[in-house]
A and B are shown apart, each in its own frame.
Chain A
Amino acid sequence: MVLVRVKALDRKTITQLLVVLIIFSLLPFVLGFNTYYIYLAAQVVLTAIMALAWNIIGGYAGQLDLAATAYLGIGGAISGLLLAFYKITPWIGMPLGALAAIGLAVMVGYPTFRFGIKEVWYALLTASLVVIIQRIFWLIYGSTEIYLPYFEWSWYYLRFGRYEPLYYMLVVMLVFVLWLNIVIKRSKLGYYLAAIREDELAAEALGIDVRRYKLYALMIYAGILGFVGGIYVSLTSIVTYRMFNPWLAIVIAVIGLVGGLGSITGVLTAAVILRSIEEYLRGTLGATIPGLYLLIYGLLIVLVGVLKPEGLGGLIESIRRRFRGGSYG
């Protein structure tokens, strides 16, 4: 069965992807190749990738997953530890990390969806998954940080004395994940996931194998994060139990919600804006009012919940509809 029929990309999509690619590629020039800013920009792009990966399980399939960093961490740990201990290139480590994350997704998703664990229970279950994996990692490797070997400029080991190469790798990943979001949305898989999000029982009665399609969504999400984990550890230069960060997993879900479930533009915009604000506040007011960005996240959730439950994407869509005179799409 063809799940995602890859059609010749239409011109509009190519243009959109190119615009994103160009904007993010030019960003380092705007930032004057300042090491600190490039590092922050890489964090922003990483957040956008994670939020767009989350969009597939959270936005399209409607499952409030809070385990993004479990999958990111597994991928990062595998890629990073292989490099640190065995000098195995991340180009092998990253696909292995993706496979491990997919394996974890199946281990978690199969029984979860089999027993119909949904909504709040699914959220709690996935949130605890991050903590469980974190504790397992901690039991094995303890709390010491494992450093990756240093290379001034090595594409083979993905280690650099600067952040730009990793930043550009993340940008390429971002464009890929954006493309994947667009292709899935227009495919049979995307339509089926939307039906599942809206009403599982009605979807099931239309011949949709709800469990199987939810598992597909979870596997794609986990696979992306597992792969990106390798770039993430290279960016931070360490492998640590702190990668399995429950808070970041929640932030990713919040960005997905604020962006608007299933809205590609909304999620991308929310990721860039929220993460930038967070870093800005941390940089400027972090010393005087620590944790101010937490307050901002909290307020934003309340605001979106009350004013525009469809999120930023809904806002963009309604503006678009107004200008186009009611055409949808």
Chain B
Amino acid sequence: MVNRILSVRNIVKRFGGLIAVNDVSFDVSEKEILGLIGPNGAGKTTLFNCITGVYKPERGKVFFMGEDITGLPPHKIAKKGIARTWQKIRPFRKISIVDTVTIGALLRYGDVDRAREEAESILEFIGIPKDRFHKLGSEITLIEHKLVDLARALATKPKLLLLDEVAAGLRPHEMLRLAKVLTRIRDELGITLIVVEHVMRFVMNISERIIVMHEGRKISEGRPEEVANDPKVIEAYLGTKLI
């Protein structure tokens, strides 16, 4: 039997009159790569925020490794082993790359020197050249931002990593490189991934299973090719037929 690492049960999150996430449930197995797709405003990022504690859902529960983590503050959820990256980059502008990742590593290593060693090996793993380590957050390119965001999340030694549109804005060859890094994160580090993505080809290639959201609801779930041929999904993406 495959172990469930994350169980989301009947999550509801409203913003005023708008129901951003409406009764969504799903499970994630250990060491799985799960894709989460849907048109703009489908509620994917809100769902992420409910899982990571940025928002408290009105209803529903989130279980991580069998434990109810609903409504815990983000830092406690991070400590339990869920890390995330951000759709809109949130860089530490006046902090160097290596220090940024060191901050992530300090969650598991109290000693700064030890955390820095860890940070350097993670940066190497991610594929950032050594001569860029001391660049400040304000001095690096978009792809580097995405990679540093990924690296500092990895540095917290998560069991589950939530990636919010990591591929957005990248060139095709950069995406290819990123896809390889993500697969290595799962294969070599044994980390479970949930990937929110707009770039269809990217997410279809990398994910083993896909959940489709539309207007706050889960409308489809299955293997990539199943989901791609689901009439409900096609309708959500292309809109309803005119009568």
- Chain A residues engaging chain B, CB cutoff 8 angstroms: 1-2, 5, 186-188, 191-192, 194-195, 197-199, 201-210, 262, 310, 326-329
Verify B99–A191 contact, CB threshold 8 A.
yes
Complex CA–CA separation, A194 to B136 (angstroms): 13
A residues within 8 A CB of B134?
A: 326-329
A residues within 8 A CB of B96?
A: 328
Verify B156–A5 contact, CB threshold 8 A.
no
Verify B107–A204 contact, CB threshold 8 A.
no
**Chain A: minimal CB distance from B35 (Å):** 21
B residues within 8 A CB of A5?
A: 110-112
B residues within 8 A CB of A310?
A: 94
Verify B92–A210 contact, CB threshold 8 A.
no
Verify A188–B52 contact, CB threshold 8 A.
no
Verify B103–A195 contact, CB threshold 8 A.
yes
- Chain B residues engaging chain A, CB cutoff 8 angstroms: 52, 54, 73-75, 78-79, 83-84, 86, 90-96, 99-100, 102-104, 106-107, 110-112, 115, 134, 136-137, 152-153, 155-156
Verify A204–B73 contact, CB threshold 8 A.
yes
Complex CA–CA separation, A192 to B155 (angstroms): 14
A residues within 8 A CB of B103?
A: 191-192, 194-195, 203, 206, 208
Choose one: A1, A188, A205; the contact of B78 (CB below 8 Å).
Answer: A205
In the A-B complex, the 6 residue pairs with the closest CB atoms: A207-B78, A198-B92, A207-B107, A202-B90, A204-B74, A328-B134
| Given A195-B100, A202-B90, A206-B83: 10 more A-B contacts, CB < 8 Å | A188-B112, A188-B115, A192-B103, A194-B92, A198-B137, A204-B78, A205-B78, A207-B78, A208-B107, A329-B134
Verify A202–B86 contact, CB threshold 8 A.
yes
CB nearest to B110 among chain A residues: A2
CB nearest to B136 among chain A residues: A328
**Chain A: minimal CB distance from B74 (Å):** 4
Q: Known contacts A204-B73, A207-B156, A328-B134; is A192 also within 8 Å of B92 by CB?
A: no
**Chain A: minimal CB distance from B129 (Å):** 15
B residues within 8 A CB of A194?
A: 92, 94-95, 99, 103
CB nearest to B78 among chain A residues: A207
Complex CA–CA separation, A269 to B180 (angstroms): 50
Choose one: A1, A186, A208; the contact of B112 (CB below 8 Å).
Answer: A186
Complex CA–CA separation, A202 to B78 (angstroms): 11
Choose one: A192, A197, A205, A327; the contact of B106 (CB below 8 Å).
Answer: A192
**Chain B: minimal CB distance from A147 (Å):** 47
Q: Known contacts A201-B54, A204-B74, A206-B104; is A195 also within 8 Å of B90 by CB?
A: no
Verify A191–B102 contact, CB threshold 8 A.
yes
Most buried by B among A191, A192, A201, A262: A191
Verify B75–A207 contact, CB threshold 8 A.
yes
CB nearest to A195 among chain B residues: B103
Complex CA–CA separation, A327 to B84 (angstroms): 31
CB-defined A-B contacts under 8 Å, sample of 7: A1-B110, A199-B92, A202-B91, A206-B78, A206-B83, A206-B156, A262-B94
Verify A205–B110 contact, CB threshold 8 A.
no
**Chain A: minimal CB distance from B85 (Å):** 9
Verify B106–A188 contact, CB threshold 8 A.
yes
Complex CA–CA separation, A5 to B96 (angstroms): 22
B residues within 8 A CB of A198?
A: 91-95, 137
**Chain A: minimal CB distance from B161 (Å):** 12
Complex CA–CA separation, A186 to B91 (angstroms): 20
B residues within 8 A CB of A326?
A: 134
**Chain A: minimal CB distance from B141 (Å):** 18
A residues within 8 A CB of B79?
A: 207
Verify B95–A195 contact, CB threshold 8 A.
yes
Complex CA–CA separation, A56 to B143 (angstroms): 33
Complex CA–CA separation, A305 to B156 (angstroms): 36
Q: Known contacts A198-B94, A199-B90, A328-B96; is A187 also within 8 Å of B112 by CB?
A: yes
**Chain A: minimal CB distance from B116 (Å):** 10
B residues within 8 A CB of A208?
A: 75, 103, 107
**Chain A: minimal CB distance from B107 (Å):** 4
Complex CA–CA separation, A2 to B109 (angstroms): 11
**Chain B: minimal CB distance from A287 (Å):** 43
Q: Known contacts A5-B110, A191-B103; is A204 also within 8 Å of B75 by CB?
A: yes
CB nearest to B106 among chain A residues: A188
B residues within 8 A CB of A199?
A: 90-92
Complex CA–CA separation, A195 to B101 (angstroms): 11
Verify A206–B99 contact, CB threshold 8 A.
no
Complex CA–CA separation, A202 to B112 (angstroms): 19
A residues within 8 A CB of B106?
A: 188, 191-192
Choose one: B52, B92, B102; the contact of A205 (CB below 8 Å).
Answer: B52
CB nearest to A204 among chain B residues: B74
CB nearest to B85 among chain A residues: A205
B residues within 8 A CB of A328?
A: 96, 134, 136
Complex CA–CA separation, A2 to B112 (angstroms): 11
B residues within 8 A CB of A201?
A: 54, 74, 90
